[in-house]
Amino acid sequence: MNTLLDPAILFFVFGVAAGIFKSNLEIPRSIAKFLSLYLLMALGLKGGFALAKSGMDTSVAISLGAALAMAFLVPTLGYALLKNRIARFDAAAVAAAYGSVSAVTFVTAIQLLEAGGLNFGGHMTVAMVIMESPAIIMAVLLANANRQRLAQQGQGSAGGFSLRKILHESFTDGAHLLLIGSMIIGYVSGEAGKTMMQPFAGDLFKGLLAFFLLDMGLMVARNFAEARKTSGFLLLYAAVGPWVHASIALSLAVVLKMPVADAAMLMVLSASASYIVVPAVLRYAIPEANPSLYFGLSLGITFPMNILLGIPTYIHAAKWALG
- Domain ranges in the chain are 28-223+240-322
- How confident is the prediction for the chain on average, in pLDDT? 82
Worst-scoring range by mean pLDDT, 6-10, 146-150, 262-266?
A: 6-10
What pLDDT shows up at residue 296? 79
Residues 91 and 95: their CA atoms lie apart, in Å, by: 6
Residue among 300, 315, 316 at smallest CA distance from 4: 300
Residue 276, classed as helix, strand or coil, is coil
Tens digits of residue pLDDT in 63-122:
999 999 999 999 999 999 999 898 889 999 999 999 999 877 887 787 778 777 887 766
Worst-scoring range by mean pLDDT, 106-110, 271-275, 302-306?
A: 106-110
Residues 278 and 298: their CA atoms lie apart, in Å, by: 11
Tens digits of residue pLDDT in 189-217:
999 999 999 998 888 887 888 888 788 77
Instruction: Evaluate whether 248 touches 70 at the Cβ level (below 8 Å).
Output: yes
What pLDDT shows up at residue 295? 79
CB atoms within 10 A of CB 158: 15
Long-range contacts from 249-253, C-beta under 8 angstroms, 24+ separation:
249/66, 249/70, 250/314, 250/317, 250/318, 250/321, 252/66, 252/69, 252/70, 253/66, 253/318, 253/321, 253/322
Residue 281 pLDDT more than 90?
Answer: no
What pLDDT shows up at residue 229? 63
**Cα four-point dihedral sign 255, 257, 261, 266:** negative
Residue 84, classed as helix, strand or coil, is coil
Give the list of residues 6+ apart from residue 313 with CB closer than 8 angstroms, or none. Answer: none
Residue among 121, 141, 114, 133 at smallest CA distance from 43: 133
Q: What number is the average pLDDT over the span 168-175?
A: 62
DSSP string for 101-165 = --HHHHHHHHHHHHHTT----THHHHHHHHTTHHHHHHHHHHHHHHHHHHIIIIIS---S--HHH
Residue 157 pLDDT more than 50?
Answer: no
237 pLDDT band (50/70/90 cuts)?
Answer: very high
Tens digits of residue pLDDT in 239-270:
999 999 999 999 999 999 999 989 999 999 99
Residues 249 and 257: their CA atoms lie apart, in Å, by: 12
| Alpha helix stretches (DSSP H) within the chain | 7-20, 29-54, 58-82, 88-99, 103-115, 123-130, 133-150, 163-171, 174-197, 205-222, 224-227, 232-256, 260-271, 277-285, 291-297, 303-305, 311-322
pTM of the model: 0.72
What pLDDT shows up at residue 156? 53
Residues 183 and 219: their CA atoms lie apart, in Å, by: 28
- CATH architecture classification, 28-223+240-322: Up-down Bundle (1.20)
| For the ranges 13-22, 114-123, 151-160, 301-310, the one whose mean pLDDT is highest | 13-22
What pLDDT shows up at residue 118? 82
Residue 268, classed as helix, strand or coil, is helix
What pLDDT shows up at residue 173? 62
231 vs 155: which has the higher pLDDT: 231
Residue 42 pLDDT more than 80?
Answer: yes
% of residues, the chain, pLDDT over 90: 28
Rg (CA), the chain: 19
